[in-house]
């Protein structure tokens, strides 16, 4: 009876307790290893901090001579994907494959925003790498074929999923580390690009190497490590969806043609309908969006039948659209729902300067630390403000009797508009307030840029003796 009871107890356990950990990834690693390469570059001078993203490739002992990194085949005819900072400024690039064959590579194209580069190697092997820089390389007659990776969908990856990172740590040769995805959509200060975070070891020399899921698909490109003192197990990989798109653009065009809508947006809520969406805080008059009638203050509630809920996804969606493609927008303007069709343009070299949350927050810190000589007191609103750049007024103080008090408006927030008029100075704001006072103290609508979102707030004005 005891044996029967114990057997029944085992069957009653939830399935999660019966799952066994994978004992070995050896078969998968053996299958994937031929796709991964080591990259060695020679430079006249060492790269500067601007030229490297994370200083992962820089070894003082190799200064002026050689920098090391990783990459992987994305096509069987010799195209390789790696990080731009691995090969930036190189006068010569050598690729070492898993079977220790050495090839010279040429740059097909680079993309600084994503820190990616595509290389192309000749299908003929070099017999002697040391002869390459001084004389014409001897070539085998037999062409080689290379094993490309399969790209997976990084959007499908979940926090806690197992991953394997491949790379060339410290120039020792290709090695493999196991870990998990620790976080997604990490912004690490390299523009607006978001990364996968992992605790799998990413060391010096791993930049440009692939991150695989347990199905053997690439879901990321090793890009950076967090190097603060005491930090360990914090690495970042560029999601495969971006890497796949960028590499295709570089192979086809030699550069990346990004779609451009010509607007800057932030999360907000329409004050007429209480519907959430993306508030347009900046718009270029040269953009198709402006010519189609969109204006700052309008709220995008849907695009191509997708709800406007994730700004990062929206930016990625528009950037990866082909110039000339149509983007369907559903917007709100003064509470009225409008449908627009906007043609995506190619992002110009000098694109519209974004007013990002990071810049706004840094501006707020700067102004709070400065002297009071540039602070203006708006008695009608009982607030102290300071001019922001390129527009708006930073709120440096709010009294408890202010009509803004208790409306979710905080010190450090920025007043961007008053009654749909851009605000550039305290006098500019005062003119709008006085017009509202003349108009029998009618309410005034303010567009407020906070650290987390942008929103409208209706402010009730009252005579001073109230």
Topology annotation, domain 26-131: Thrombin, subunit H (2.40.10)
What single string gives the DSSP state of each residue in 370-408?
Answer: S-GGG-EEETTTTEEEEE-SSS-EEEEEE-TTSTTTTTT
Which of 105-109, 229-233, 377-381 has the weakest average pLDDT?
A: 229-233
The mean pLDDT of 233-241, rounded to a whole number, is 84
More confident residue, 246 or 131: 246
| Nearest Cα residue to 249 out of 130, 143, 347, 124 | 347
Q: Which helix (H) or strand (E) holds 420?
A: none
What would the pLDDT profile of 255-264 be if each residue is shown by its tens digit?
Answer: 898 899 999 8
Topology annotation, domain 154-253: Thrombin, subunit H (2.40.10)
Select, from the ranges 193-207, 287-301, 348-362, the one with the highest average predicted confidence (pLDDT).
287-301
Count Cβ atoms below 10 Å from residue 158 Cβ, excluding itself: 8
Give the per-residue pLDDT at 66.
55
Count Cβ atoms below 10 Å from residue 423 Cβ, excluding itself: 23
- Residues 14 and 46: their CA atoms lie apart, in Å, by 57
The CATH number for 357-459, chosen from 2.40.50.100, 2.30.42.10, 3.40.50.1390, 1.10.1270.20, is 2.30.42.10
Give the per-residue pLDDT at 218.
95
Rg (CA), the chain: 28
Please provide the distance, in angstroms rounded to a whole number, between the alpha carbons at the two ends of the chain.
86
Give the per-residue pLDDT at 332.
93
More confident residue, 63 or 207: 207
The mean pLDDT of 297-313, rounded to a whole number, is 92
pLDDT confidence tier of residue 193, bands split at 50, 70 and 90: confident
Give the per-residue pLDDT at 73.
96
Give the per-residue pLDDT at 12.
45
Percent share of the chain, pLDDT over 90: 35
Which of 129-133, 145-149, 209-213 has the weakest average pLDDT?
A: 129-133
- Tell me the two tokens of residue 358: 């990071």
In the three-class reduction of DSSP (H, G, I as helix; E, B as strand; rest coil), residue 4 is classed as helix
Select, from the ranges 155-169, 171-185, 352-366, the one with the highest average predicted confidence (pLDDT).
155-169
Q: Is the distance from CB of 267 to CB of 299 less than 8 angstroms?
A: no
Distances (CA, A) of 460 to 271, 418, 433, 440: 14, 13, 11, 11
Count Cβ atoms below 10 Å from residue 381 Cβ, excluding itself: 23
Taking 80 as the threshold, does the pLDDT of residue 238 lie above it? Answer: yes
Taking 80 as the threshold, does the pLDDT of residue 91 lie above it? Answer: yes
Q: What are phi and psi of 19, to 5 degrees?
A: -70, 140
- Residues 204 and 221: their CA atoms lie apart, in Å, by 14
- Residues 404 and 450: their CA atoms lie apart, in Å, by 14
What would the pLDDT profile of 411-443 be if each residue is shown by its tens digit?
Answer: 888 999 998 888 988 888 988 898 888 888 889
Taking 90 as the threshold, does the pLDDT of residue 116 lie above it? Answer: yes
Where do the H-state alpha helices sit in 331-425? 357-369
Taking 80 as the threshold, does the pLDDT of residue 58 lie above it? Answer: no
CB proximity list for 60: less than 8 A, separation 6 or greater: none
What would the pLDDT profile of 317-328 be if each residue is shown by its tens digit?
Answer: 999 898 999 999
pTM of this structure: 0.62
More confident residue, 8 or 344: 344
Give the per-residue pLDDT at 129.
38
Q: Which helix (H) or strand (E) holds 67?
A: strand 67-73
- Tell me the two tokens of residue 305: 């039948």
pLDDT confidence tier of residue 123, bands split at 50, 70 and 90: low
Where do the H-state alpha helices sit in 13-104? 15-18, 26-32, 84-87
Q: Is the distance from CB of 151 to CB of 218 less than 8 angstroms?
A: yes
Domain residue ranges in the chain: 26-131, 154-253, 259-346, 357-459
More confident residue, 2 or 172: 172
CB proximity list for 7: less than 8 A, separation 6 or greater: none
Print burial letters for 299-323: b (CB count within 10 Å at least 16), e (below 16): bbbbbeeeebeebeebbbbbbbbee
The mean pLDDT of 123-140, rounded to a whole number, is 41
State the maximum Cα–Cα separation within the chain, in Å, rounded to a whole number.
94
Count Cβ atoms below 10 Å from residue 327 Cβ, excluding itself: 19
What single string gives the DSSP state of each residue in 149-214?
Answer: --B--GGG--TT-EEEEEE-GGGS--EEEEEEEEEEEEE-SSTT-EEEEE-S---TT-TT-EEEET
- Residues 381 and 377: their CA atoms lie apart, in Å, by 9
Taking 70 as the threshold, does the pLDDT of residue 176 lie above it? Answer: yes
More confident residue, 232 or 102: 102
More confident residue, 21 or 330: 330
Give the per-residue pLDDT at 252.
92
Whole-number mean pLDDT of the chain?
78
Taking 50 as the threshold, does the pLDDT of residue 16 lie above it? Answer: no
What would the pLDDT profile of 355-408 be if each residue is shown by its tens digit?
Answer: 323 333 233 222 233 334 578 888 889 898 988 877 899 998 888 889 998 888
Strand partners, 303: 306, 329
As a dihedral over the C-alpha atoms of residue 68, residue 69, residue 72, residue 75, rounded to 10 degrees, the angle is: -60
Q: Which residues are known to be catalytic?
A: 85, 115, 207
pLDDT confidence tier of residue 110, bands split at 50, 70 and 90: very high
The CATH number for 259-346, chosen from 2.40.100.10, 3.30.70.120, 2.30.42.10, 3.40.630.190, is 2.30.42.10
- Tell me the two tokens of residue 208: 């440009």
More confident residue, 354 or 294: 294
What length is written for the chain?
466
Do 259-346 and 357-459 agree at the fold level? Answer: yes
- Residues 8 and 426: their CA atoms lie apart, in Å, by 77
Strand partners, 345: 260
Q: What are phi and psi of 280, to 5 degrees?
A: -80, 110
Q: Is the distance from CB of 54 to CB of 224 less than 8 angstroms?
A: yes
More confident residue, 229 or 23: 23
More confident residue, 74 or 296: 74
CB proximity list for 101: less than 8 A, separation 6 or greater: 125, 126, 144
């Amino acid at each position: 009876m005891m044996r029967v009871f114990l057997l029944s107890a085992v069957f009653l356990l939830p399935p999660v307790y019966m799952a066994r950990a994978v004992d070995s990834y050896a078969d998968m690693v053996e299958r994937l290893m031929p796709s991964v390469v080591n990259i060695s570059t020679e430079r006249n001078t060492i790269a500067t901090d601007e030229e490297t993203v994370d200083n992962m490739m820089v070894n003082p002992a190799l200064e002026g001579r050689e920098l090391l990194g990783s990459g992987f085949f994305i096509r069987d005819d010799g195209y390789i994907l790696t990080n731009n900072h691995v090969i930036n400024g190189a006068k010569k690039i050598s690729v070492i494959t898993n079977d220790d064959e050495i090839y010279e590579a040429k740059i097909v194209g680079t993309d600084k925003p994503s820190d990616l580069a595509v290389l192309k190697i000749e299908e003929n092997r070099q017999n002697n790498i040391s002869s390459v820089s001084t004389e014409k390389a001897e070539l085998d007659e037999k062409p080689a074929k290379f094993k490309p990776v399969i790209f997976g969908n990084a959007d499908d990856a979940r926090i806690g999923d197992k991953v394997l990172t491949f790379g060339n740590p410290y120039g020792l040769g290709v090695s493999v580390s196991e870990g998990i995805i620790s976080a997604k959509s990490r912004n690490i200060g390299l523009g607006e690009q978001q990364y996968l975070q992992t605790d799998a070891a990413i060391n010096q020399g791993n930049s440009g190497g692939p991150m695989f899921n347990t199905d053997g698909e690439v879901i990321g490109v090793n890009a950076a490590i967090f190097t603060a003192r005491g930090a360990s197990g914090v690495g970042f990989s560029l999601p495969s969806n971006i890497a796949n798109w960028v590499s295709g653009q570089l192979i086809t065009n030699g550069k990346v043609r990004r779609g451009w809508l010509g607007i800057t947006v932030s999360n907000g809520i329409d004050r007429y309908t209480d519907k959430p969406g993306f508030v347009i805080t900046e718009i270029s008059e040269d953009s198709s969006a402006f010519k189609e009638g969109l204006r700052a203050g309008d709220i995008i509630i849907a695009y191509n039948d997708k709800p406007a809920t994730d700004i990062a996804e929206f930016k990625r969606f528009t950037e990866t659209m082909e110039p000339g493609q149509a983007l369907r927008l559903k917007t709100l303007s003064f509470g009225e729902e409008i449908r627009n069709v906007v043609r995506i343009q190619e992002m110009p070299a000098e694109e519209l300067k974004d007013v990002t949350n990071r810049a706004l927050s840094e501006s707020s810190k700067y102004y709070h630390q400065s002297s009071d000589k540039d602070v203006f007191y708006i008695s009608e609103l009982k607030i102290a403000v300071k001019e922001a750049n390129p527009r708006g007024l930073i709120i440096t103080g709010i009294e408890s009797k202010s009509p803004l008090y208790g409306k979710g408006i905080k010190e450090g927030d920025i007043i961007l508009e008053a009654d749909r008029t851009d605000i550039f100075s305290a006098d500019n704001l005062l003119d709008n307030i006085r017009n509202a006072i003349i108009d029998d103290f009618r309410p005034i609508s303010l567009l407020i840029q906070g650290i987390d979102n942008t929103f409208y707030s209706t402010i009730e004005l009252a005579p001073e003796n109230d």
